[in-house]
Structure 1
Amino acid sequence: MRMKLEDRLKPSELAQKFPKATIIIWLLLTLVMMAGGWQLSVSYDTRIFYSEQNSFLLHLREFEKKFSHNNNVLFVVTFKDETSSERVTSVEVLKAIADMTERAWQLPHSTKVESLTNFPRVFSEDDAFGVQEMLPSKEGLTPEAAAAIEDEALADPLIVNRLLASNARATGINVNFQLPVKASDEVRDISHRALAFADEIERDYPDLQVDVTGNIMLMATYNEASHLDAQLLVPIALLVAGGIVVIFLRSRNGSLVVISILGVASASSMGVAGWFGHVITPASIAAPIIVISIALASTIHVVISVKHAIAEGLDNQAAIREAISINAKAVGLTNLTTAIGFLAMNQADAPPFNDLGNIVFGGIVLSYALTFTWLPAALTLLPLGVSSDRSSALMAAVGRLINWLRWPLLAGMVIAVLMTVNGLREVRLDDDFVRYFDTRFDYRNASDRAEERLTGLNIMEFDMETGVDGGGYQPAYQQTLQAFTAWLRTQPGVVSVADISEITRRIHKAMNVSGEPTRNGIPENGDLISQYFLLYELSLPYGASITDRINVSRSSSRVTLIMKGLTSGDIRALHERAGAWLAANAAPETVTSGISINILFAYLSSTNIRTMILSTLVSIFIIGGIIALALRSVTYGVLSLATNLLPAIVGFGIWGYTFRDIGIAGAVITAMTLGIVVDDTIHFLMKYKRLRARGLSTSDAIASVFSTVGVAMIITSVSLAVGFAVLSLSGFEINRALGLQTSIIVIVALGICWFMLPPLLHIIDRGNGVKLNHEN
């Protein structure tokens, strides 16, 4: 057994023997790994959160093959003076809207421009049928004509709350774009030009304000959020980690060594990610921050043990060897369990979380290797000075106090756990896709104003199939569309619904065909409806088309509804109600389910929770089995699982009381934190078991554990909690929730490890002083 231990420690001994060579080799390796950073790209794609096998994504792609993509930019036009009573349907503003509409066609990759002034209206005059723009010409526009446009627009369900606000104080210009599959350059180009276009309009029309939102701007904001977090949070994480090290270690050389490991591990892990072709997203950009926190937790145990050994009289080299000998097994075990937790994230049906788990896993491997090579080499070159170790005596006193108060502490912890568990009932799986970004982003501010003043930004689409070519013109099908859209308009949060039956009714009314049987304004003659649409399509003005509403074979059409003020939970509920309505009222071939990028995000959390349940359970048993094998005790393995599942349960309970809503971050937090929060328990139990085997009583062993690892436990927990708390500074909601909730769980885990684990050990070992036997 002794020989095996020495073999395991050989890398650290070689590092001590050849410290300069070790550092140089690591620096060269670091440069090679960091070179992969040039291969990293930052995603613009909102769909990157979904795997290629995601059923909703596959449904959306099939929908977009049949109809057009919703790659839009929405320009929301309002008045800068919010107190003004003027309306956007005045002569001057209508002319400005017409001008903007013409100029919007010049935006790169634009395929369609919709606005109040170019909306196609059906009319008949002297028995002649026609379709023309709402404002055919801005020349000679009179106040009376402008008032007529307002009256007609406010009465039109295809315009109001979509292109014109119900109070006529805001209007929208919606521009759709054709994008390739990989569209980073195009999205960047369009977003920059859209913002420049809005600035141009505001210069040309000083009284008007133009807010820019839409799917293209959302894509650009994903990219912006990734860059902002990288530039802001990673440096903050390093500074915070450095501050923690300096405060707790009180050693210049020790602090430099630890901080150097944090920098190498985090930078190298991102470089390796580049070599493996990972794409950076707002979620995976959190990886270097997490690596910094975990690397600090690993290295600090060794450095504190070196200080402790020097304080007891060992020289620097002997102290390094002693510290590594004491911590090798525990640090290896904690890194292994932490790695398992992050590898479990590969089961999430969200590639950014897969990437996050894999990048952090790489960082864990690197920090482990650095701890047993770079660390001894660096401490050989930068030895720690002798310092008094008053913390050991203080921690031993804390341990004795906990022994003395063990039963009140256990009772108090049980009561606290039960009280917080009750908060689980308050947790609601909900979030708001539109508000994933906070108000530091222009997109969020523009979107808030758009929803407040004009329209909703969440949409839901239905592919209403008939199963036969030309079936879209059949009266029964059109009646189903009319009834479905009428029902949708009664649903809370729905502000606009568009379908082809509305066009049918308008044409029939304009044609004024006498004697033709109708129901709900729709003719009972499919051939007549077909002729109507042919005439309508031939009469459409430039830029207008119906091919985005009905497919080429005319076998299927599109129903689009716009939702306002709904969260993901509300959207899921509406999605299910709509599916139920169709199942009860539509022909079997027409029954379908809604789809859109908003639907994908609405189901993102629930989909990932389902996929992560099995992965989390497997991780629990693997981690428990590893700890049981390492400690050679099934009892301690079960105990470690119990004390480390509780922090996640309590953390969710606290979240339920304080924040209530949990989104996609909730799907991966339990699996991720299992491996993290177990660290303190592993160090505690391994040292406790060793001391009990030496013949110490339960109370003496607990006090001794606190004296040796108590400070390290505080530092690791503080570093992890503060490191993840840095993520709460992110402007991206998923990172904020992930960071804040993990911080809560880490702090809870420390409390359970300190105040619940010792009383439980007293119960298990019955407080006797007999030498602990190994369990087989």
Structure 2
Amino acid sequence: MIRHIARLVLACPKFWAIGSVITTLVMAVCMTQISFDIQPSATITSDNQTSRDLARFHDEYGRDDNDVVLLIEGDDLLQWNQLQQLRKLRDQLQELPGVQYVASILDVRRRTGSMIPLIPRDVADDGAGFDAETLLSELIKHPISKDQLISDDGKMLAMWARIEGDSLAVSGITQVIEPTKRFARQYETDTGATVHIAGHTAIRDDVLNSLQRAMFISCTAAAIVAFFVALALFRGLVAVVVVVTAPAVGAIWTFGLMAACGEQVGGLLTALPNLVFTIGLTDSVHLLLEMQNELRAGRTSRNAAYRGLVRVGPACWLTSVTTVIGFGSLMLSRTPSVAAFGMWTAVGTSFAMLANIVVLPTLVMWLPKRWLITNATATHRMSDWIERMVAPMVRRSRLTAAIGVGLCVLLLGPALSQEPDIVWTETIPDHSSSAVAMRHADDKLGGALLCYVTVRWPESYQMPDSQIIKATARAQSILRAAPQFSGTFSIGNVLASVPGRTMRDRFRMIDRMPEAIQSGLMNESARSLVVTARVPNDGAAALNKRIQGVDVELEALRQEFPDFEFTITGTVVAASRNMNLVIMDLARSLAVAAVLIFIVFTIAFRSIKTGLLSVVPNVLPLLVTAAGLSFCGYPLLITAALTFSLCLGLAVDDTLHLLIRYRAVRRYDRDARSAAMKAVRQVGPALVVTTIILFSGFAAMMTSPLPGVRLFAGLSALTLVTALIGDLLIFPAMLVVGSSSSESKD
């Protein structure tokens, strides 16, 4: 089949060239419209009960991830002049378009019949008669502000602003965050206090800004470093341009189509450019080196392009098929973000293959031969060096193969012991404003992330029935007693803050509260109310363990109140549970992909033995990367799961090129050792060149300020080296062992 494709491409080079240029230009224009404005719920949503509980909660109470939390630190925050500036800040936030309400100590009212504000608006300009110490004493005892809006020492205040909207994209958040930062800076100037902006919205705003900036800087640095390394290896500027053009075009086509389809770039899809370019570059290097060899042999440009496609094309085609099948299997995931990642990676791999088959041969045909033919001395020296490295392994093939299998078995335990985890701030720099704010919130207030227990009652009850109040109080006591849950809040706090002889009298007083605040506590039409608690930003694994403990207590509460429904939910709860599912989904899907790749190998080469032999070099990089995480004390982060995807694509590519060349050599050389060494000598330079180029690029990315990018780059570099070792040192020995005993005796 590849012969027909090669003839088709080379028969009409102008047609393919014009088509490629037009397509690239159109897709490049489309790329300018690509958006990083991802919906926050897109990554954490899954087809499970957790997501359905969260959706029901949002229907009844609105989004809980649209809060902007201002943490204000200072020594004299309750002095009159400071309170006046606080009121100015509150009013500025309240007037912002899109802000539903702002809650602060200014909203706390006295527990008397008049319910006048605890902090009066009308006081002498110099604050005469105002007592800050008395105010602090009242605030830290008040059911509304205690553990909610002020620290016990009065040196930190919390102001919560809720943004209107359903599942706001980052652009909607930025419209509030940016002026909030300006107002906060002005408040700091006027008072000398410090303002930290925390919460989901601040993190997402930092993620967007950091992601766009870091992706541009890191990718540019990686491209520059990789370019000069490639220049040193290829000894020719034109050759470098040719080898990177095809994978770059494939990446442009992929992102252009994503933009045209309205796909938002965020979460898993941020790794797609590197993934598509990397997969495309490996095949591009193999093709160009083969075509250069044909040109040096005196063949015409057209003939060299044709022979290069025929000799290397089958391996490139089979690599793309296996990679597409592997990543395509992710589309079966119940998590939309994982399914989208699998689909677009499969599309990108296909485009990279198409660009390599169309763009690279066309360039080779049109460019002068002297521009492409570089000095072969470096390649020959590299082949000699590789041969010296591999020869001892092939001579001791059984021992080498046993070491490879043993390493896989040895690393299997640490690799499988990895537990998934995420931290909300893991993708932004440690020194970023939101990361610093989240740490302050954890230290001073016990956290700025909210989780909820919804209490739902049957139709036979109506507020304020004593059973509803009792069930709510019991749910609140469970959260209050749970470790690392702080600042519990419910309608019970409000009822305790208003006057009235009876519960019904106090319940009527709640009507005096703003509707926006009431709606966050209770929904009588849905017969439900919520208990809120804050949790620290210490990771999904830790939170899930605490949630399991709360669930046990809630199950006992369900037995006590059989007609009631108690559910722990919230964005942070759903994200913790579902992001773990995302990571495990990626890991399971990659395991399925590995099995599918084994099946493809077996069918393509009509040999189960060949399929089995290919397992070790493909699995070893995965196991080394996972075990390396374990040894370094890292949990199984989503960044690591993405690295596994890259790892699988690279390992399969190198293995296939070596295997197909080995089988081609075996047609005229029946000695397994000799055939393995010849295959390594022919294919090895391309493997080494690809690895060095990509390694240098990922090494440059390790300078990124984003922890996630640094981890991804470091793991990818480790994967590249391990894949090279597996394919150059272990796989040839396994091929020899897999041959007949007469040809593979040690």
Q: Per-residue deviation at 1:112?
A: 1.5
Q: Quick check: 1:23 aligned with 2:12?
A: no
Secondary structure of 1:117's match?
helix
1:563 equivalent in structure 2:
535
Q: Quick check: 1:13 aligned with 2:1?
A: no
1:89-168 maps to which residues of 2 (within 5 A)? Answer: 89-123=78-112, 129-137=113-121, 139-140=123-124, 141=127, 145-156=131-142, 158-168=144-154
Q: Given the alignment, which residue of 560, 584, 595 partners 2:556?
A: 584
CA contact (8 A) 1:345 1:672 kept: no
1:278 equivalent in structure 2:
263
Task: Provide closer, same or farther for how the CA distance between residues 590 and 742 of structure 1 changes in structure 2, counting only shifts above 3 A.
Answer: farther
Q: Per-residue deviation at 1:270?
A: 0.9
1:303 equivalent in structure 2:
288
Task: Provide closer, same or farther for how the CA distance between residues 183 and 646 of structure 1 changes in structure 2, counting only shifts above 3 A.
Answer: closer
1:83 equivalent in structure 2:
none
Q: Given the alignment, which residue of 183, 201, 211 partners 1:197?
A: 183
Q: What letter corresponds to residue 319 of structure 1 in structure 2?
A: A
CA contact (8 A) 2:230 2:240 kept: yes
1:236 equivalent in structure 2:
221
- Which string of whole-angstrom CA distances, capped at 9 and with x for unpartnered residues, describes residues 103-132 of structure 1? 322122222111123223423xxxxx2323
Distance in structure 2 (CA, Å) of the matches to 1:671 and 1:271 = 22
Task: Provide closer, same or farther for how the CA distance between residues 536 and 581 of structure 1 changes in structure 2, counting only shifts above 3 A.
Answer: same
Task: Provide closer, same or farther for how the CA distance between residues 735 and 647 of structure 1 changes in structure 2, counting only shifts above 3 A.
Answer: same
Q: Quick check: 1:643 aligned with 2:617?
A: yes
Q: Quick check: 1:747 aligned with 2:721?
A: yes
2:317 equivalent in structure 1:
332
Q: Per-residue deviation at 1:164?
A: 1.1
CA contact (8 A) 2:38 2:265 kept: no
- Which string of whole-angstrom CA distances, capped at 9 and with x for unpartnered residues, describes residues 339-361 of structure 1? 22332332344444444433333
Distance in structure 1 (CA, Å) of the matches to 2:519 and 2:482 = 27
Q: Per-residue deviation at 1:739?
A: 4.4
- Which string of whole-angstrom CA distances, capped at 9 and with x for unpartnered residues, describes residues 6-46 of structure 1? 3232134326xx4x554333211211222322442222521
Task: Provide closer, same or farther for how the CA distance between residues 549 and 709 of structure 1 changes in structure 2, counting only shifts above 3 A.
Answer: same
CA contact (8 A) 2:10 2:302 kept: no
Structure 2: any 5+ residue segments left out of the alignment? none
Q: Quick check: 1:289 aligned with 2:277?
A: no
Q: What letter corresponds to residue 228 of structure 2 in structure 1?
A: G
1:66 equivalent in structure 2:
60
Distance in structure 2 (CA, Å) of the matches to 1:554 and 1:603 = 25
- Let me know the Cα RMSD of the aligned residues: 2.9
Q: What letter corresponds to residue 488 of structure 1 in structure 2?
A: L
Q: What letter corresponds to residue 551 of structure 1 in structure 2?
A: N
- Which string of whole-angstrom CA distances, capped at 9 and with x for unpartnered residues, describes residues 232-272 of structure 1? 23323432442342232222221121122233222222111
Distance in structure 2 (CA, Å) of the matches to 1:290 and 1:748 = 17
Distance in structure 1 (CA, Å) of the matches to 2:524 and 2:470 = 21
Task: Provide closer, same or farther for how the CA distance between residues 440 and 333 of structure 1 changes in structure 2, counting only shifts above 3 A.
Answer: farther
CA contact (8 A) 1:495 1:562 kept: yes
Distance in structure 2 (CA, Å) of the matches to 1:157 and 1:749 = 60
CA contact (8 A) 2:44 2:575 kept: no
Q: Given the alignment, which residue of 451, 455, 461 partners 1:460?
A: 451
CA contact (8 A) 2:617 2:726 kept: yes
Q: Per-residue deviation at 1:708?
A: 0.2
**In terms of mean alpha carbon deviation, does 669-678 or 429-438 score higher?**
669-678
Distance in structure 1 (CA, Å) of the matches to 2:403 and 2:167 = 57
Q: Quick check: 1:42 aligned with 2:36?
A: yes
Secondary structure of 2:116's match?
strand
2:477 equivalent in structure 1:
486
Q: What letter corresponds to residue 39 of structure 2 in structure 1?
A: D
Q: What letter corresponds to residue 88 of structure 2 in structure 1?
A: D
CA contact (8 A) 2:207 2:427 kept: no
Q: Per-residue deviation at 1:440?
A: 5.5
Distance in structure 2 (CA, Å) of the matches to 1:566 and 1:285 = 24
1:692 equivalent in structure 2:
666
Secondary structure of 2:487's match?
strand
**In terms of mean alpha carbon deviation, does 261-270 or 568-577 score higher?**
261-270
- Which string of whole-angstrom CA distances, capped at 9 and with x for unpartnered residues, describes residues 628-680 of structure 1? 22223221012212431232123211111114212234555545643331111
User: How high is the sequence identity, in percent, across the aligned residues?
Assistant: 17
Secondary structure of 2:518's match?
coil
Q: Per-residue deviation at 1:597?
A: 1.3
**In terms of mean alpha carbon deviation, does 149-158 or 607-616 score higher?**
607-616
- Which string of whole-angstrom CA distances, capped at 9 and with x for unpartnered residues, describes residues 217-245 of structure 1? 23323432442244223323432442342
Structure 1: any 5+ residue segments left out of the alignment? 80-85, 124-128, 514-527, 771-776
CA contact (8 A) 1:397 1:703 kept: no
**In terms of mean alpha carbon deviation, does 578-587 or 158-167 score higher?**
158-167
Q: Per-residue deviation at 1:465?
A: 0.7
Distance in structure 2 (CA, Å) of the matches to 1:756 and 1:35 = 45
Distance in structure 1 (CA, Å) of the matches to 2:108 and 2:702 = 45
1:496 equivalent in structure 2:
487
Q: Per-residue deviation at 1:153?
A: 2.0
Distance in structure 2 (CA, Å) of the matches to 1:628 and 1:197 = 65
CA contact (8 A) 2:453 2:532 kept: yes
2:366 equivalent in structure 1:
381
- Give the length in aligned residue pairs: 734
Q: What letter corresponds to residue 59 of structure 1 in structure 2?
A: D
Q: Per-residue deviation at 1:378?
A: 0.9
2:70 equivalent in structure 1:
75
Task: Provide closer, same or farther for how the CA distance between residues 316 and 553 of structure 1 changes in structure 2, counting only shifts above 3 A.
Answer: closer
Task: Provide closer, same or farther for how the CA distance between residues 343 and 729 of structure 1 changes in structure 2, counting only shifts above 3 A.
Answer: farther
Secondary structure of 1:279's match?
coil
Normalising by structure 1, we get a TM-score of 0.87
CA contact (8 A) 1:51 1:349 kept: no
